Amino acid sequence: MFEKAQQFLQQYFGYSLFRKGQEQAIRYVLEGKNSLCVMPTGGGKSMCYQIPALVLPGTTIVVSPLISLMKDQVDALLQLGIPATFINSSISLREANERMMEAKHGRYKLLYIAPERLESREFMEDLQGMKIPLVAVDEAHCISQWGHDFRPSYRHIRRMVDNLQEKPIVLALTATATPKVRDDICESLEIDGNNTVMTGFERENLSFSVIKGQDRLLFLKDFLKKNHKESGIIYAATRKMVDQLYERLKKENINVGRYHAGMSDMDRMREQEQFLEDKTTVMVATSAFGMGIDKSNIRYVIHFQLPKNMESYYQEAGRAGRDGLAGECIVLYSPQDVQVQRFLIEQSSERNRISQELEKLQLMVDYCHTENCLQAYILQYFGERETKSCGRCGNCTDSRASVDVTKEAQMVLSCIVRMGQKFGKTMTAQVLTGSKNKKITELGFHNLSTYGIMKEKSAKEVSDFIEFLISQDLIAVQHGSFPTIYVTEKGRDVLLEKQTVSRKQAVQSRHVSKDDILFDCLRTVRRSIAESENVPPFVIFSDATLKDMCVKLPQSSEEFLQVNGVGENKLKKYGEAFISAIIAYCEEHPERMQERSAESFLKKPSKKAERDSHLVTYEMFQNGFTLKEISKKRELALSTVENHLLHCAEQGLDVDLGSLIPAEFLPLIKQAVKEAGSGKLKPIKELLPEEITYFMIKAFLFLNRKREKE
């Protein structure tokens, strides 16, 4: 039966390999075992029941709590040529009855339902007349009181399963991994806990970073300008802040939408749709936005203000890069926001939970201050024991030089003291830069010895520097009707020369992805198809699939079918539109075709032929397998697998070699290369500790060469 699964993966979905965990999850189902599948967002959980639904006779029931998501999933299945439908409160009673009639005739392979349906006796009776081999429980943590999203109606699932004529297989899926929740799910759904598939929680395509001590709005505007073609979400803590940011960004001609619970249902729905349909590119929102958003091409998630805890942060940030392509997750940290969150927690939490919530907030603040790997911090928070540095995050890649700013810090701190610690940031900056402001003269501050000692800087620069000192806990903010600043214990140590202060240069915002005219052109084709089919663009093809087209430049149906994410149905429906756009582009840019011929190895061979071995490795690596796992699965030496990846990188494929060199080794290797030169490997290796392998050195040298070329 598993061969069938493999075949359908290619035929319907256009993928040639299962991702980590998918194969095992599908095997459990096909062996008739109830099981639990725990994978991070974007891990590919849907495939774990969609493929078995195709293999098994009858209609698979999918219980899902999110109405908007059901529609998108069903749209996506219909696009693949798989008969599916959903029943929930968004459709009329008549429509629901009609769909149920069809379902009883076995018209669908998958039927999505909201858990509330199970409260209706009539609906349960209808189900009894159907052939149901599998019940998939999506977002299964909703069954547990310990989860963050308890849904009492999930408790009815067990009764439904028990009442069916033939007992179906149950597959529970979630991204929440706490043991308590897992136990609860297994117990409620009669799953043997041994039948659990759990992949790691690392999101290998996401890079996390924290920006602090910088002007947030400036950073944001710069980032959005650099990435104006890409979709992203900006989260703010309050409705008011969402509205303010929205207005500011609109003035900058940024194509922005907004979403928060203070808006009418109609407005929210419209804003959400515009975003899903790629009509607005940036969504400014409170945490009310995102539940049930499956949009796969979100390239960045920026938290303009500190989130309230790690759970919400990882969930919100995790909405980036569901398609497996790179995504950026940035927190713009400002110390004042800790107060905002504290206030929100004290307002909204139940009394006995406040201290627990405040502790969680503190761990979120710690995240913003750690100098270690941010991804590792997150994984440790969620209980993963063995974590290594990711090599991608802001801390792992931070190579900025530090500058000693102790003297400047002392100027600011002593000025605050001299002003009596009763004024705000702006006034302090004005005194330091020697402003002629009338108020300053009235207060006699022009007589202070610190008046104008930073006059070579602008008031704005000094104000930013004060922000930085706040982020370093040298200055604190006293909130009242006017926020005032004062010098902390730590700040006093600096004044007493017991401690120095160093500052790194400002972080530059990065481009999330490279510009490519062909990619833009394919996006346009996709959008016009999406409009005529009345579905969001990512339902037609994911960004990952468009990117693969840009590499493979398919010019015939056969070549088009070799693109990752193109199955038979989509070839039939959309092949022509995309192929002709690609041909037209290539005629104008013949050099692009030449590049392709150098990479024609990329082509997946026609059905039987052996594939290039290094490409099999490549695909497994991209699908989340570690080098060790690939070596074990393929029965190849680890060094062979490593060489495969180097080979791929040299041929121009996008391999994240950086992630394979632990960050703490980087300075060592760099030093060794400096000493021994980059001509030969052995002299370098000899200068280094045992655990640094030849492979790491080779990868390092490759990345170096690449950087020099850029």
Give the containing element (helix H, strand E) for 48.
helix 46-55
Q: Fill in the DSSP letter of residue 214.
A: S
Decide which of ligand ADP, Mg ion, Zn ion, none touches 542; Cβ closer than 5 to 8 Å per partner kind: ligand ADP
Token pair 């650099």 in the structure block, residue: 226
Mark the segment that binds ligand ADP (CB under 6 A) among 44-52, 398-406, 586-594, 654-662.
44-52
Q: Indicate the residue among 22 and 389 with the shorter CB distance to ligand ADP.
A: 22
Q: Does 396 bind Zn ion (CB under 5 A)?
A: yes
Please give the full DSSP string across 185-205, using - where no structure is assigned: HHHHTT--TTSEEE-----TT
Instruction: Return the number of the residue (136 or 310) whose C-beta is nearest Mg ion.
Output: 136
* Residue 197 lies near ligand ADP (rule: CB under 6 A): no
Q: How far is the CB of 108 from ligand ADP (least distance, A)?
A: 19
- Indicate which of Zn ion, ligand ADP, Mg ion, none lies near residue 393 (CB less than 5 to 8 Å, by partner kind): Zn ion
Q: Do residues 91 and 68 make contact, with C-beta atoms less than 8 angstroms apart?
A: no
**Nearest-approach distance from CB 584 to Mg ion, in angstroms:** 36
CB of 628 to Zn ion, least distance (A): 20
From the list Zn ion, Mg ion, ligand ADP, none, partner contacted by residue 373 (C-beta under 5 to 8 A by kind): Zn ion
CB of 60 to Mg ion, least distance (A): 15
Residues 6+ apart with CB under 8 A from 252: 221, 224
Give, in degrees to the nearest 5, the angle at Cα 515 between 510 and 517. Answer: 165
Q: Name which of Mg ion, Zn ion, ligand ADP, none residue 184 binds, using a CB cut-off of 5 to 8 Å depending on partner kind.
A: none
Give the nearest distance from C-beta 201 to ligand ADP in angstroms: 12
d(CA 682, CA 481): 66
Contact 170/161 with Cβ under 8 angstroms? yes
390 binds, among ligand ADP, Mg ion, Zn ion, none (CB under 5 to 8 A by kind): Zn ion
Stretch that binds Zn ion, among 8-16, 227-235, 305-313, 370-378 (CB under 5 A): 370-378
| Near ligand ADP in 277-336, by CB under 6 A | 294, 296, 322-323
Residue 47 interacts, among Mg ion, Zn ion, ligand ADP, none and using kind-specific CB cut-offs from 5 to 8 Å, with ligand ADP
Query: Could you say whether residue 469 binds Zn ion (CB under 5 A)?
Result: no
47 touches ligand ADP by CB under 6 A: yes
Q: Residues in contact with Zn ion, total (CB under 5 A)?
A: 6
Kindly identify the residues of this chain, within the stretch 35-54, that bind Mg ion according to CB under 5 A: 45
Stretch of residues binding ligand ADP (CB under 6 A), selected from 13-21, 51-59, 96-104, 417-425: 13-21
**Does 624 interact with ligand ADP (rule: CB under 6 A)?**
no
Which residue lies nearer to ligand ADP by CB, 290 or 335?
290
Binding-site residue total for ligand ADP (CB under 6 A)?
19
Structure tokens at 314: 């990882």
Three-class DSSP category at 259: strand
The span of 39-47, 502-510, 590-598, 600-608 binding ligand ADP (CB under 6 A) equals 39-47
Question: Which of 239, 164, 278 shows the shortest CA–CA distance to 530?
Answer: 278
* DSSP labels, 104-163: HTT--SEEEE-GGGGG-HHHHHHHHTS---EEEETTGGGG-TTSSS--GGGGGHHHHHHH
Q: CA angle 27-30-32, nearest 5°?
A: 110
Report the alpha-carbon distance of residue 510 to residue 10 in Å, rounded. Answer: 35
Residue 625 and residue 654: Cα distance in Å, rounded? 16
Which among 45-53, 128-136, 206-214, 683-691 is the span making contact with ligand ADP, rule CB under 6 A? 45-53
Q: Does 393 bind Zn ion (CB under 5 A)?
A: yes
Nearer to Zn ion, 396 or 699 (CB): 396
> Is residue 379 part of the contact set for Zn ion (CB under 5 A)?
no
Query: How many residues lie near Mg ion (CB under 5 A)?
Result: 1
C-alpha span between 316 and 326 (Å, rounded): 16
Q: Is 15 in the site for ligand ADP (CB under 6 A)?
A: yes
The CA distance from 430 to 443, in Å, is 13
What number of H helices and E strands is found in the chain? 32, 17
Nearest to 38 by CA among 161, 152, 139: 139
| 469-498 burial: b if 16+ Cβ within 10 Å, else e | bbbbebbbbeeeeeebbbbbebbeebbeee
How far out from the chain centre does Cα 563 lie? 24
DSSP one-letter code for 384: -
Q: Which of 23, 25, 28, 44 binds ligand ADP (CB under 6 A)?
A: 44
Min CB(175)–Mg ion separation in Å: 8
Q: How far is the CB of 138 from Mg ion (least distance, A)?
A: 6
Q: How far is CA 610 from CA 604, 605, 638, in A?
A: 9, 7, 21
Q: Which does 18 bind (CB under 5 to 8 A by kind): ligand ADP, Mg ion, Zn ion, none?
A: ligand ADP
Asked whether position 536 contacts ligand ADP by CB under 6 A, the answer is: no
Residues in contact with Zn ion by the rule CB under 5 A: 373, 375, 389-390, 393, 396
Residues in contact with ligand ADP by the rule CB under 6 A: 15, 17-19, 22, 39, 41-47, 294, 296, 322-323, 542, 623
Residues in contact with Mg ion by the rule CB under 5 A: 45
